[in-house]
Amino acid sequence: MRKPGAIVLGVALLLSTAGCGASAAGSPAAARSAAATSSPLAAEAAGGACYLLNFEQVSAALGVTFEVSAASNVGETYTCVLRQVSAALPDLALSVSPTLADAKLFGTTVMPKGATVLPDLGKTGYSRTAAATADAGPGAEVGWLSGNQRLMALRYRSAPATSDAQLAGLLPKLVALARKVDQASA
């Protein structure tokens, strides 16, 4: 049987590929119409969870430049996806959902088996990598329970030609970016 926290995070991650505008929980209200932005507009212009990201911050943290942002929400789960204009991958997705979970529940129901525990990210968090698929190279994910009771996940999917070694070098950078996002969401 699936655990409720894992289902919520799973739904949030699935939604991360959607692209309609909305405001993130606790963020200034934005129009509920479709919204996608590309440079020279700021990533935040898409609304939703994109209020917590910006192209310059992501580029400085990861060494990857994104040019297009799109936001979506379903219920109280908000997502933001950053992509490049010229290619579908890599992409970076952020999902944010309010929760009543505490650190113990997060650790037992949300955190994937085999993930590395990140006790100094929010109340608690994790990082993990994912194997390449037929359509994408290896991926990385950082999930955490924020200090203001939100389940947050930052997921990076790489281009098909990316090696596991290249992705391994990106994971600590993704964790550092997650810390900045966590501070911005407080």
Q: Where are the domains of the chain?
A: 4-185
Q: 124 or 16: which carries more pLDDT confidence?
A: 124
The predicted pLDDT at position 35 comes to: 54
Q: Which range among 1-5, 69-73, 131-135 shows the weakest confidence by mean pLDDT?
A: 1-5
What does pTM read for this prediction?
0.80
The string over 97-121, giving b where at least 16 C-beta atoms fall within 10 Å of a residue's C-beta and e elsewhere, is bbbebeeebbbebbbeeebeebeeb
Domain 4-185 has CATH 3.40.1000: yes
Per-residue confidence band for 158, with pLDDT thresholds at 50, 70 and 90: very high
Report the distance separating Cα 74 and Cα 95, nearest Å.
11
Per-residue confidence band for 40, with pLDDT thresholds at 50, 70 and 90: low
The predicted pLDDT at position 41 comes to: 80
Q: What is the DSSP letter of 23?
A: B
Contacts of residue 175, Cβ cutoff 8 Å, sequence gap at least 6: 118, 121, 127, 142
The predicted pLDDT at position 37 comes to: 54
